């Protein structure tokens, strides 16, 4: 595998943001407007942006946001009555879930197996303990005693899938699908829009970017991999996207500090602590946002060498890694 390395300076913390450069040409001899039409909503604790290129397609934005609400009500562990909430409060009893939830859990568990439990869908109690969502920038981390108390309850093997039901055999465990759910929902939005005949659109679920077709002029979308600490807002590199998904995970996204130590939100479920990794950011490009979402977190947890090996087993999937010392590694051939 060809893995080009770009020495672009030493960065203490290199963040990876997705900047969509959307350039549209005017269609000559036609009154159709090709300027982008943007619509925003707030679901899954993140801003959702839908971009359309004509008024007819834009009329679908309401149905898209209704789908977002549907899946939040289905998959969020904090929404009372959702499938995941019901499983987590099932007291060890089988819980009937919707077919889509069942299929997503099967997919999520496969990534738990591939990482030997570094990713674990029963990580919810650890996430609550660390609490990266409070917005507090400086606070003491959990004690080792608190972490060790919770760790025995983190085990994806306690999730039993059978005949459309899900059983969480440990009542003190809790499922969270944060590493894969946004990708799954992005795929569902794309599926819906394509069924409605949309040929050009862009879906952005908090950095999970999924493109439908190409831009109206037929060219690919150019998505910049940006260094947000750059004074002039420069890019580290760019990728082209036509009818595929570009998803990023990074240690910079949510974190807090304590006594000059930075604690990021991507937890290694096998240790109970933020993952010790040589990667600051991962971008995955492939045809499935579900896969890209899961692989971006998986690769970050595994570290560069193991992540490169893993991606070699996924055809038509590209990865771009930015290491903690500011170097870029790509799996793209002949770059």
Residue 35: pLDDT band by 50, 70, 90 thresholds? confident
Domain spans in the chain, listed from the N-terminal domain onward:
5-330
Residues 284 and 13: their CA atoms lie apart, in Å, by 19
Question: What pLDDT is recorded for position 14?
Answer: 32
Give me the pLDDT at residue 298, please. 94
Q: Cβ–Cβ contacts within 10 Å for residue 134, how many?
A: 10
CATH number of the domain located at residue range(s) 5-330 in this protein: 3.10.520.10
- What is the mean pLDDT of the segment spanning 224-235? 55
Give the span between the Cα atoms of 160 and 121, in whole angstroms.
Answer: 12
Report the chain's mean pLDDT, rounded to a whole number. 85
Q: Is 203 helix (H, G, I), strand (E, B) or coil?
A: strand
- Give residue-wise pLDDT tens across range 62-81: 999 999 999 999 999 999 99
pLDDT of residue 226: 55
pTM of the model: 0.85
Q: 């998505």: which residue's tokens?
A: 223
Per the CB < 8 A criterion, the answer to whether 214 and 221 are in contact is: yes
Task: Please write the tens of the pLDDT for every residue from 138-197.
Answer: 999 999 999 999 999 999 999 999 999 999 999 999 999 999 999 999 999 999 999 999
- Strand 318-323 relative to strand 279-286, pairing: antiparallel
Asked whether the beta carbons of 32 and 26 are under 8 A apart, the reply is no
Residue 227 is predicted with a pLDDT of 60
Structure tokens at 174: 């809790």
Name the helix (H) or strand (E) containing 290. helix 289-302
Look up residue 143 and give its DSSP letter.
P
Strands (E), the chain: 5-7, 17-21, 37-43, 46-52, 95-96, 159-162, 165-168, 201-205, 208-212, 221-226, 235-241, 245-250, 255-258, 261-264, 267-268, 273-274, 279-286, 318-323, 327-330
């Amino acid at each position: 595998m060809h893995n080009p390395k770009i020495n672009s300076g030493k960065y203490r913390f290199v963040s990876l943001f997705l900047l969509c450069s959307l350039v549209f040409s005017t269609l000559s001899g036609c009154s159709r407007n090709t300027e982008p039409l943007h619509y925003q909503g707030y679901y899954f604790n993140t801003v959702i942006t839908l971009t359309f290129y004509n008024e007819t397609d834009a009329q679908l934005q309401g149905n898209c946001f209704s789908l977002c609400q549907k899946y939040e009500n289905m998959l969020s562990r904090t929404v009372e009555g959702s499938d995941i909430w019901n499983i987590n409060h099932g007291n060890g009893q089988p819980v009937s879930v919707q077919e889509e939830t069942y299929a997503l859990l099967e997919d999520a568990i496969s990534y738990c197996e591939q990482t030997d439990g570094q990713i674990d869908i029963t990580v919810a109690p650890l996430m609550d303990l660390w609490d990266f969502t409070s917005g507090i920038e400086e606070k003491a981390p959990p004690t080792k005693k608190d972490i060790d108390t919770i760790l025995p309850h983190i085990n994806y093997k306690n999730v039993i899938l059978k005949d459309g039901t899900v059983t969480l055999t440990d009542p003190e465990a809790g499922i969270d699908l944060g590493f894969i759910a946004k990708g799954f929902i992005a795929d569902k939005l794309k599926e819906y829009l394509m069924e409605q005949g949309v040929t050009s659109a862009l879906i952005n679920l908090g950095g999970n970017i999924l493109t439908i077709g190409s831009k109206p002029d037929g060219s690919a979308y150019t998505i910049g991999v940006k260094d947000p600490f750059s004074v002039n807002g420069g890019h580290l590199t760019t990728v082209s996207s036509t009818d595929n998904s570009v998803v990023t995970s990074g240690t910079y996204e949510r974190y807090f500090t304590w006594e000059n130590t930075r604690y990021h939100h991507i937890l290694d479920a096998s240790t109970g602590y933020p993952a010790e990794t040589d990667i600051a950011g991962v971008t995955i490009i492939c045809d499935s946002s579900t896969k890209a979402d899961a692989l971006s977190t998986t690769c970050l947890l595994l570290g560069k060498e193991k992540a490169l090996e893993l991606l070699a087993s996924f055809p038509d999937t590209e990865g771009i890694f930015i290491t903690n010392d500011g170097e870029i590694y790509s799996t793209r051939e002949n770059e």
